[in-house]
Amino acid sequence: MDRPRTPAHLIGRTRRRRRPRLALVAGLAAVTLGALVNVPSARANTAQPTPADCPAGLAGRATCYTGQDANGAYYAMAVPKKWNGSLVVHAHGGPDLGEGSDPERSVADLDRWSVMVDQGYAWAGSSYRRGGYGTRMAAADTENVRRLFVSAFGEPRRTYLHGQSWGGDVAAKAVEVYGGPHGPYDGALLTDGVLAGGSRGYDYRVDLRVVYQYYCKNLPRPSEPSYPLWQGLRPGSTLTTTGLRARLQECTGYASAPQERTPQQQRNLDDILAVTKIPERTLESHLRFAVFTFRDIVHNRLGDRNPFGNQGVWYSGSHDDKALNAGVERFAADPAAARDLSYDSDLTGKVALPVLTLHAIDDPTAFVEHEAAYRATLRGAHRDRYLVQTFTEEHEHSQLSDSEYANSLAALDTWVRTGGKPTPRKIASTCAAFDRVYATGCFYDAGFHPSSYASRVAARPGGLHWPAMTARQERAWSRVPGVGIAP
């Protein structure tokens, strides 16, 4: 459905919608509910969402549904009893590395972000058709769950994307691919997003992988088959996450109290953390990504081609930088592999709707400097007028305050409805009203501005210019047969 053009001085947009099919909602709600947590594991492509029990936090306040789409992606939906007529479409983080779609993932996300349903919004989230990396695939599955919702319940008055962590990249990609002037989305909320894209957003984990091996020499051990570190882990390895933790503990003593570490363990740990700028509390999770997710990207998604490089990077902060830089493993990316990863997950900044971000300043997983990369991306595309960024003095990655989530969604909705672009200070000032309901705190720092991405992550040659993939480059690559990462 076409929308009326918005005056040039307004960023927010409004549009006329079909009235939601509330009668259908009421009819489905009367059906006997199944157990939401016991979704069948067998593939079952359902034509319509199936009524199911809601998470405990929404019991009696919403009607919930589950299903599996034609691509095999499980999903969950919720419609509040007092529906305001609008929809939030959620893109989850990860990526998870299971072979198929996880029926419990979207259910867990509905439980985690039930505050959005509590605020009167319907909610829909996909578990994606498979595990493993694939940003465009996940964006397509996110768009598909929106279409399934519309088919069952009618077109909402307004539709918002919400992306968390890697899902921030997924949602930002969906904004660019599906969110044109006459597209189905009105705005997007990106929380603690991995917004530097795939070709640059994992460079600090590339650095971790090679720096770790320089000091620890146990992944692989000298007695084990060798492999280039850009593989993450050799394809046939049977190493488990438990085994990885044991090797990290052996080298650094990271799980022990400082007084229980050997001097060599402490020095290894100090050097690794100082060089990579990774927080100690998330060292293990970042290394898991640099091992297992890198293997998925390289082996499963890119046919054993290398998309990563560290040529020209000078590593600093160790007790002996000269020795480190002389001994660390170096490699250059395969151009076609780098192209395919970039096409799949880099952002062009081609945004045409309001985007609000919320990010913890001390996020230990998706560093806050990802926000600087995203602003530079939109500025490079001359679209930064569509962006408002907010920051909080929190220390977690995906457990921000419910008061802030509710406040952010309300601020985005007001922006879209009125066309009045909010300021970070204005958004911070409205949080107290929601905190009177949820009592989880408001921790905004309205004056904070993140440093450049390169201040946290060593830039590769050419890596100081944003966007990492321009819209023109994307169009050119889209004509290459087989480009990107297959669903």
What's the pLDDT tens digit per position in 243-276?
999 999 999 999 999 999 999 999 999 999 999 9
Is residue 92 within 8 Å of 129, Cβ to Cβ?
no
How high is the pLDDT of residue 398? 83
- What digits encode the pLDDT tens for the residues 388-423? 999 999 999 988 999 999 999 999 999 999 999 999
Residue of 45 and 294 predicted with greater confidence: 294
Q: Is the pLDDT of residue 18 over 70?
A: no
Amino acid letter, residue 404: E
Which tokens in the block code for residue 76?
């969950």
Per-residue confidence (pLDDT) for residue 75, from 0 to 100: 97
In angstroms, the Cα distances linking 153 to 52, 157, 486 are 16, 12, 31
Q: Which of 167, 170, 122 is nearest to 148 (CA)?
A: 122
**Average pLDDT for the chain:** 91
**pLDDT at residue 221, rounded to an integer:** 97
Tens-digit pLDDT profile for residues 341-388 = 999 999 999 999 999 999 999 999 999 999 999 999 999 999 999 999
Q: Please give the pLDDT value at position 25.
A: 40
Cα–Cα distance for residue pair 404/382, rounded to 1 Å: 29
Label residue 336 exposed, middle or buried (CB < 10 Å: 0-12, 13-18, 19+). Answer: middle
At 35 the pLDDT is 33
User: Can you give the pLDDT at residue 30?
Assistant: 35
Mean pLDDT value of segment 27-48: 39
SS3 (DSSP) at 98: coil
Angle between helices 203-216 and 263-276 (to 10 degrees): 160
How far is Cα 469 from Cα 342, in angstroms, rounded to an integer?
Answer: 7
- pLDDT of residue 14 exceeding 60, the answer is no
Confidence grade of residue 46 (pLDDT, cut at 50, 70, 90): low
With beta carbons less than 8 A apart as the criterion, state whether 55 and 111 touch.
yes
Is pLDDT of 38 > 70?
A: no
Phi/psi of residue 51, each to 5°? Answer: -55, 145
pLDDT at 48: 83
Place of tokens 């919702």: 149
pLDDT tens sequence across 56-103: 989 999 999 999 999 999 999 999 999 999 999 999 999 999 889 999
Q: Which residues contact 299 (CB under 8 A, 6 or more apart)?
A: 231, 235
